[in-house]
Structure 1
Amino acid sequence: MERTLHQWFAGSVARFGDRVALEAGGARHTYAELDDLAARLAARILGACPGRRPARVGLYAARDTLAYAGYLAVQRIGATAVPLNPAMPQARNLAVAGAAGLDVVLADAARAPLPPFPSPVLAVALDDLGGDRAEPLTPPDGVDGLAYVLFTSGSTGTPKGVPLRHRSVSAYLSHVVPRYGLGPGDRTSQTFDLTFDLSVFDMFATWGGGATLVVPSRYDLLKPVAFVARERLTHWFSVPSVVSLALRLRRLAPGSMPSLRWSLFCGEPLTLRQADAWRAAAPGSVLENLYGPTELTISCTEYRLPADRARWPRTPNGTVPIGLPYPGVRHAVLDADGRPAAEGELCLRGVQRFPGYADPAVNEGRFVAFDGERAVPAEAAGVMPDDLWYRTGDRVAWRDGVLVHLGRLDQQVKVSGHRVELGEVEAALRARPGVVEAVVLALPGADGELELEAACTGTDLDPVALVKGVAEVLPGYMVPRSVSVLGELPLNANGKVDRRALATTLRT
């Protein structure tokens, strides 16, 4: 049965009201208590919008009870949640708030002074909510309504709004909740910021099954193995770079996470080496590699590593396969001419596909019509019909009956699990005084993880000042590790920037 996000949570409130739903910041809240907080926050949101129900509500809070109760409050009144991250630069949050067309921003009063949002701001504290409760409201469009809008990196320098419908999230949850056996007594990790779509799994797969969501502190995120062991987690979900961090710190001792039953990774390629190290530390855990762009609702393919290490796959790039799509998701691998191929661009459609970007102009070139023989570009106007295929921009290949991710076809990369358009970082550099040209590359660091390196041309440029300037407008994961000032950029025979030659220059 299709359900809204609120209905997924409300079902567990009815069945498991006295079970612990959330542990965050030293506080524990049962399902009934968290539902009560959400109901009172919902009343405050409605009170801030007299005479009308808000359609889109910004949420300026993170990693505490207010953030999670606030997210549930937005869902309770049938509005669309637009998370904002207090850890990001003010300019980024203001750009997202402006592009989202928010009716109101629910903000943590403890984070004052608050940014000058273009929408009314409701600053609240949990100890001063009042006793009024709001009854649940159905979204105006039911399960076809928007559950949330997330903003990802855009190549033009402007974040792209990705709206997702309740119907899509419900289909996703209907698959993952039973697959991972989530239920009372299970304890799940919450490693992702709410601006990252994988956080929706953390919250609603957990709450949809009646399990307990355990939120690590920023300090705990630096020591994931100790966190898992201390909190006796049964389910872990993170980006693979967490494994690299634990390896660097020499924390992945064999058998160090005995409580884990499931280990899930998504957001960037998972290497076989990372998987092997994590499996040794959590020998009782089933390990799955997931894949999915934000546009396909959190994740949409899965690959389970065999229990027998001798049966693990061998892939051309040393990564774990991304497997096969979920039920209700169709896939096609197309070559440069739009024809089916053993290796090419992965295109997807189905119930989990988003309806098109918040700004319809961004749809241009992202959708195709495919008759089974050849794909042709689709017109990018309004809501994109469900029968169109979304072009992921990811290059994949068939290997032994499953899909292997081979990299990006464009300039989009993953840094610590975050999707980054190199063009957006280049645009931020070009906006700095004196910069004429800017090129950003994602290059492997000493530990194999991707790092951003930049090269600029111009007059009177200070590399340190350029890095600081970008940090003022972009999130930390989008800030180049260093900027090299060059007299000119290397060009290839076609007069385009020779990125391979530039990479050699930046690494010498």
Structure 2
Amino acid sequence: MNFADPVELLARRAQASPDHIAIEEPGRSTSYEEVVVLAARFAAAFRARAGGQAPRVLINLPQCAEAYAAMFGALMAGGIYAPNNLSAPAIRQRGVHEAFEPDAVVAAEGTLDVLGIGPTDRRWVSLSDLPAPLPRRVWAADDLAYVMFTSGSTGAPKGVMVAREGLAHFIDWALLAMDVRRTDRWSQHPNLGFDLSVLDIYGALCGGATLVPLSRQGDRLTPAAAIRRHKLTIWNSVPSVVDLMLRARQVTAQNLETLRLLTFCGEPLLPAHLEAIFAARPDVVVHNTYGPTEATVSCTLVRLTEANYRDACRASVALGDPIPGMDVWLAGGESDNEGEVMICGPQVARGYWRDPQRTAAAFGEAQRAGRIMPTYRTGDRAARNGRHLFFLERVDRQVKILGHRVELGEIDAALRACGAAACTVLWQGELHAFVEGTPSAVLADLRAALAARLPTYAIPAHFHSIAALPRNLNDKADAGALIAQLVAGAGGVTGAQPEYQAG
């Protein structure tokens, strides 16, 4: 398949409009020409750290021009990158570093200790000492573009390997579907360790728009006001951000005045979200998309307007139709209209980083259009109602919280590491932790200990002390019995989750 590589698209934009603002941050702006030059200097540094070979680059920076340029620089050098989530606990950030084993690390000097390295480590790339630019390398379709580390059931991060072809296919589609324009001002809300940020970065910079990273806490906590303040035309986030806007009563025509498009992914979009948006801005367009990290951000789309959105609403909003070049179908259900979501096409990832067993369990191959294409079992159950596909639930113990994938087994592992010998975690609209033989008075301390190991959104809202965990015939914790206890009113200490966790 012939798709323009993101590096080539960026170079074309810089050649056509070198002085056009590519990235607008508080107090500074970076032109397209400056982004390309900075990326090429990063590429030279990365190749040098890798001994002239294709480098592996860990990006340990917040949302900023240097982070975005480093991503393009890794691709220019023929390498791959992995962005770290700086809002995650230090132990998790270090876990990504250890799993990825990078040749080069891009980070501010003051953050190196989090990764367990120092300024004398030859892998560190100082932002203040970059070499002369390096010419772009030729890439192949199967070359990897990036590794996105997500929640792993053992407690260790799980790296999803996305190929250059998959990224190029996704961006080629996104630029057309979103009709990206030079005059667009595109929000960059998700943190860089969350793959929803991929759409922002490559969509804006490959489309010639201006990318506006929302890194300030005020922008993140008042997103509707940020839309007005920065005169944004394209908004991209998880639907939970709309809940934050609604609680603050910020979904108004004045706040959303400059928007022409809102796009959502990462968790179910609800009819109430659309009702509020279209009540404020009946002329705006909303894209609801679906896709796991393993399918390069998203692989379906439904385009919603004030005139048609009601037809796409049930308990949640429809997932949409497969994007061109991708196949989505249901398997393993009682009928063809219900089952596990299966995905096939060039955007399917190449597996999990250094984890052949898990890769074999989730990925496969299928023949499509005369080509053998990769397939992925999502673990999501969905149903077809008329022409629309609707999400039902997870097949396994993986849930989405504020758009972030969380494996309940990872929380189990963290609880055990904090001293809870026998425990399990359930999702019933909120996270519930059941801990065997632990006095209720100790549960609050256990919650505090988890804060050093897990992101805030992954810390259970409710902790329950239980004399003995009920067991099923396989000697596993009996989730059904625990749910029954919840319904009956099991005791416990409640630690309220924040209404919203930025990122």
What is the TM-score when the length of structure 1 is the normalising length? 0.88
1:349 aligns with 344
Q: Distance in 2 between matches of 1:324 and 1:352?
A: 15
After TM superposition, the structure 1 = structure 2 runs for residues 54-73 of structure 1, keeping only pairs within 5 Å, are 54-73=54-73
Any unmatched runs of 5+ in structure 2?
493-503
Q: Distance in 1 between matches of 2:188 and 2:209?
A: 12
1:87 aligns with 87
Q: Distance in 2 between matches of 1:506 and 1:221?
A: 36
Q: Distance in 2 between matches of 1:442 and 1:319?
A: 18
What are the Cα deviations for residues 332-373 of structure 1, in whole angstroms up to 9, with x where unaligned? 211258xx611111111111111222211112432456799x
1:124 aligns with 126
2:274 aligns with 275
Q: Distance in 1 between matches of 2:99 and 2:374?
A: 25
2:407 aligns with 421
Pair 1:468-2:448 in alignment: yes
What are the Cα deviations for residues 263-316 of structure 1, in whole angstroms up to 9, with x where unaligned? 10100000000121122233331011100001111100111224316843342x
Give the 3-state SS of the residue equivalent to 1:413 in structure 2.
Answer: strand
Measured after TM superposition, the shift of residue 13 of structure 1 is 1.4
2:461 aligns with 481
Pair 1:332-2:329 in alignment: yes
Pair 1:456-2:435 in alignment: yes
Percent of aligned pairs sharing the same letter: 35
After TM superposition, the structure 1 = structure 2 runs for residues 205-354 of structure 1, keeping only pairs within 5 Å, are 205-216=203-214, 217-308=216-307, 311-315=310-314, 318-336=315-333, 341-354=336-349
Q: 1:106 to 1:131 in 2, by over 3 A?
A: closer
Structure 2 letter corresponding to 1:440: V
1:144 aligns with 142
What are the Cα deviations for residues 443-465 of structure 1, in whole angstroms up to 9, with x where unaligned? 33xxxxxx322111135672122
Give the 3-state SS of the residue equivalent to 1:483 in structure 2.
Answer: strand
2:483 aligns with 500
Q: 1:394 to 1:24 in 2, by over 3 A?
A: same
What are the Cα deviations for residues 103-133 of structure 1, in whole angstroms up to 9, with x where unaligned? 12111225354421598541523xx335622
Choose which of 197, 200, 206 in structure 2 pairs with 1:199: 197
What are the Cα deviations for residues 166-201 of structure 1, in whole angstroms up to 9, with x where unaligned? 101111111110111102111101011111111111
Give the 3-state SS of the residue equivalent to 1:21 in structure 2.
Answer: strand
Give the 3-state SS of the residue equivalent to 1:407 in structure 2.
Answer: strand
Structure 2 letter corresponding to 1:486: I
Q: 1:145 to 1:494 in 2, by over 3 A?
A: closer
Give the 3-state SS of the residue equivalent to 1:365 in structure 2.
Answer: helix
Quick check: 2:165–2:346 contact (8 Å CA) kept in 1?
yes
The farther-off stretch of 79-88 and 481-490 is: 481-490
1:381 aligns with none
Q: Distance in 1 between matches of 2:56 and 2:390?
A: 37
Quick check: 2:40–2:134 contact (8 Å CA) kept in 1?
yes
Q: Distance in 2 between matches of 1:371 and 1:103?
A: 36
Pair 1:102-2:99 in alignment: no
Give the 3-state SS of the residue equivalent to 1:228 in structure 2.
Answer: helix
Quick check: 1:164–1:355 contact (8 Å CA) kept in 2?
yes
Structure 1 letter corresponding to 2:201: M
1:363 aligns with 359
Measured after TM superposition, the shift of residue 239 of structure 1 is 0.2
Structure 2 letter corresponding to 1:467: R
Give the 3-state SS of the residue equivalent to 1:312 in structure 2.
Answer: helix
Structure 2 letter corresponding to 1:471: A
Measured after TM superposition, the shift of residue 229 of structure 1 is 0.9
1:37 aligns with 38
Structure 2 letter corresponding to 1:292: G
The farther-off stretch of 394-403 and 35-44 is: 35-44
2:159 aligns with 161
Give the 3-state SS of the residue equivalent to 2:422 in structure 1.
Answer: strand
Quick check: 1:187–1:211 contact (8 Å CA) kept in 2?
yes
Computed over aligned residues only, the root mean square deviation of the Cα atoms, in angstroms, reads: 2.5
Q: Distance in 2 between matches of 1:336 and 1:302?
A: 23
Q: Distance in 1 between matches of 2:254 and 2:330?
A: 39
Pair 1:443-2:422 in alignment: no
Quick check: 1:256–1:281 contact (8 Å CA) kept in 2?
no
Give the 3-state SS of the residue equivalent to 1:267 in structure 2.
Answer: coil
Q: Distance in 2 between matches of 1:281 and 1:111?
A: 42
- Matched positions, count: 480
Q: Distance in 2 between matches of 1:493 and 1:104?
A: 49
Measured after TM superposition, the shift of residue 319 of structure 1 is 0.6
